[in-house]
Amino acid sequence: TTNDQLQRTGISGIENHLAHQLNVQHQSISGAFQDLNKLMQQAKEMVSISKTIANKIQEKRSDLTSDETIRFRSYLLSLGIDNPVTKESAGSQYHTSLAKELANLLEKALKDTNGIMTLSDAFCRINRARGYELISPEDLLNAAVHMEELGLPVRLRVLSSGIKSFELTNRNEKKDLEEIASLVKTVTSMSADQLANQLGIPVIVARERLIAAETNSLLCRDDSIEGLRFYPNLF
């Protein structure tokens, strides 16, 4: 008993106490890792099973949107493995319903921003509005891809520079560009950021619009050390 008492007092007592605490922490941490390992083992099995199913489906290709493949896709999504290469034919229900929700949300926002919004802007707006249960960039893109086939009022568009953006389906491209051209005419020349200021759109989109108008022979460019400016096409 004297030994016990010795251990509880003095510096060695404190040291013993610390060692004991460390031990407990270590056990809980390794316990957590063990659980995680078990979980991962299970997930691994799911992955291998889903891969064999994917192979089977690939053999029977182009059975378009049969119920089985749709369900299988949602399994894959819940596991966090998306396998678009072997399953491009269907898409998933999750993304189509997300597309509908987003179209609703974006339609109003797009009307305020001149009918066009970059994907990254939309991503910020949507996730800020949601607060929790956020969507990943990939979900947003996948949902956006379905918008056109669902006949929604909003659609995805890849601009010539590779920038992805949302726009209203009923937008009249030609009329828009002509409006921009006449806007340029009133001030003789314009740079992308001037147009961005005037229309309240991102500079990237403004630049895209000006170049589109140039491609349509409405504008021409003046590239100098003063920057890239666009003039009405007088040629």
Partner 1 sequence: MAATKISDISWHHDFPPFFTLQPNLDTRRKQLDAWCSLVLDYCRLKKVCTFDVNDASKFPPFFNAKINRQLDNNFIQVLLEELRSRGNIEWEDKHKRRCLVLWKSPEEW
Say how many residues touch partner 1, by CB under 8 A.
Answer: 14
Whether residue 208 contacts residue 163, with contact meaning beta carbons closer than 8 Å, is answered with yes
Given phi > 0 = left and psi -120 to 50 = alpha, else beta, which region is 92? beta
Question: Does 233 help bind partner 1 (rule: CB under 8 A)?
Answer: yes
Question: Does 222 help bind partner 1 (rule: CB under 8 A)?
Answer: yes
Contact with partner 1 (CB under 8 A) among 11, 24, 85, 234: 234
Contact with partner 1 (CB under 8 A) among 59, 67, 133, 223: 223
Contact with partner 1 (CB under 8 A) among 189, 199, 203, 204: 189
Minimum distance, C-beta of residue 207 to partner 1, in the bound complex (Å): 14
Minimum distance, C-beta of residue 155 to partner 1, in the bound complex (Å): 26
Minimum distance, C-beta of residue 206 to partner 1, in the bound complex (Å): 18
CA angle 170, 203, 116 (to 5 degrees): 15
User: In terms of CB distance, is 28 or 186 closer to partner 1?
Assistant: 186
Query: Strands, DSSP E only, in the chain?
Result: 116-118, 154-158, 164-168, 190-191, 219-224, 227-232
Minimum distance, C-beta of residue 233 to partner 1, in the bound complex (Å): 6
In sequence order, what are the residues at sequence separation of 6 or more whose Cβ sits closer than 8 angstroms to the Cβ of residue 62? Answer: 89
- Stretch binding partner 1 (CB under 8 A), from 9-17, 56-64, 134-142, 221-229: 221-229
Whether residue 16 contacts residue 5, with contact meaning beta carbons closer than 8 Å, is answered with no
Query: What's the CA gap between 50 and 83, in Å, rounded?
Result: 10
- Report the interface residues with partner 1, using CB under 8 A: 189, 214-215, 217, 220-224, 229, 231, 233-235
